[in-house]
């Protein structure tokens, strides 16, 4: 608990910043929705004239409905971006930052195993993702009432949990890279690069056959691909995501337990 609180305390400023950003984004998007809804007919015509490719890339479907609007404006990119940024950052900081700043020399010579240290840091990161998902749900559940946007709470929960799942996946990747290499920049850069590549492949998959073929192994397909605001949580993909995240976390624990800590 001591290390968990310390880890959370180390991140609280940036976490608070991201949370405020998320709330602002939710607020702004919801405030625009009444205009979108009132212009539904015109917008529908306008969007019908959009190039098919663009509609597929941005997965614009039933844009003027609550689910369609929030899916396009929040859940297809902006919210995942926040979840992934926090996840990758916390993962890179978990051990690599301690090593680079050489605070690991004291932390890892305390009577606590490396596995336990890293497990606590992973737990803290997962809690952070779940809490952010809760903030997302709460803000939307409250917010949609003010703008008369129709969307079931279970669908909002599904969307938020999907975002958290993406955050956890890329947290696991960054944690693994940091634990294996001890370099924060590589851990953060590697996880973010993977996320960008995954997102691009996912977005362009409807247009490019090669990308379409690798879609089943793309984390964005496991999460956003199931269209949680329309269909709720896809249990199979969720389990797959958790298994992959667990594999990265497990690998991180194994390599970190055995590796020399750099001076």
Partner 1 sequence: MPASAISIQGLTKYYGRDLGVADVTFDVYPGEVIGFLGPNGAGKTTTMRSLVGLLNITSGRAQILGQEVSVNASALRAKIGYLPGAPALYKNLTGLKHLEFLAKMREVNCTEAIHTMAERFDLDLGRRIHELSKGNQQKVAVIQALMHKPEVLILDEPTSGLDPIVQREFSAIIDDMQTRGTAILLSSHVLSEVEHLADRVVIVNAGKQVLVEEISRLKEKTVRTIDLYFAMPVKEEVFAGIGGIKDLRMYGNRVSCTVVGAENALLRCAVDNGLESVQTHESSLDDIFFSLVSGGDTNGIAS
Q: Smallest distance from the beta carbon of 107 to partner 1, in angstroms?
A: 8
Nearer to partner 1 among residue 25 and residue 117 (C-beta): 117
Nearer to partner 1 among residue 9 and residue 236 (C-beta): 9
Q: Smallest distance from the beta carbon of 244 to partner 1, in angstroms?
A: 29
Nearer to partner 1 among residue 102 and residue 213 (C-beta): 102
Q: Smallest distance from the beta carbon of 246 to partner 1, in angstroms?
A: 24
Q: Smallest distance from the beta carbon of 4 to partner 1, in angstroms?
A: 11
Q: Smallest distance from the beta carbon of 5 to partner 1, in angstroms?
A: 9
Chain Cα centroid distance, residue 1: 25
Nearer to partner 1 among residue 6 and residue 213 (C-beta): 6
Q: Smallest distance from the beta carbon of 88 to partner 1, in angstroms?
A: 22
Nearer to partner 1 among residue 5 and residue 247 (C-beta): 5
Nearer to partner 1 among residue 10 and residue 62 (C-beta): 10
Residues that bind partner 1 (CB under 8 A): 2-3, 6, 10, 101-113, 116, 258-261, 263
């Amino acid at each position: 608990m001591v290390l968990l609180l310390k880890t959370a305390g180390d991140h609280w400023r940036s976490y608070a910043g991201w949370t405020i950003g998320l709330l602002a984004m939710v607020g702004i998007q919801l405030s625009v929705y009444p205009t979108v809804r009132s212009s539904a007919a015109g917008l529908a015509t306008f969007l019908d004239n959009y190039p098919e490719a663009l509609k597929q890339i941005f997965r614009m479907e039933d844009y003027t409905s609550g689910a369609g609007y929030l899916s396009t404006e929040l859940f297809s990119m902006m919210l995942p971006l926040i979840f992934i940024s926090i996840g990758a950052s916390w993962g890179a900081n978990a051990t690599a930052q301690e090593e680079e700043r050489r605070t690991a020399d004291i932390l890892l010579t305390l009577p606590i195993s490396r596995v336990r240290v890293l497990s606590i840091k992973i737990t803290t990161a997962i809690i952070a993702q779940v809490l952010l998902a809760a903030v997302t749900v709460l803000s939307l559940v409250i917010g949609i009432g003010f703008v008369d946007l129709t969307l079931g709470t279970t669908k909002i929960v599904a969307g938020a949990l999907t975002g958290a799942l993406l955050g956890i996946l890329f947290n696991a990747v960054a944690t693994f890279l940091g634990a294996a290499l001890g370099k924060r920049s590589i851990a953060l850069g590697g996880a973010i690069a993977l996320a960008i590549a995954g997102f691009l492949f996912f977005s362009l998959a409807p247009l490019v056959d090669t990308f379409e073929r690798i879609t089943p192994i793309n984390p964005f397909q496991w999460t956003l691909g199931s269209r949680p605001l329309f269909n709720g949580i896809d249990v199979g993909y969720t389990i797959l995501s958790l298994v992959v995240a667990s594999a990265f976390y497990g690998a991180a624990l194994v390599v970190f337990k055995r590796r020399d800590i750099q001076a």
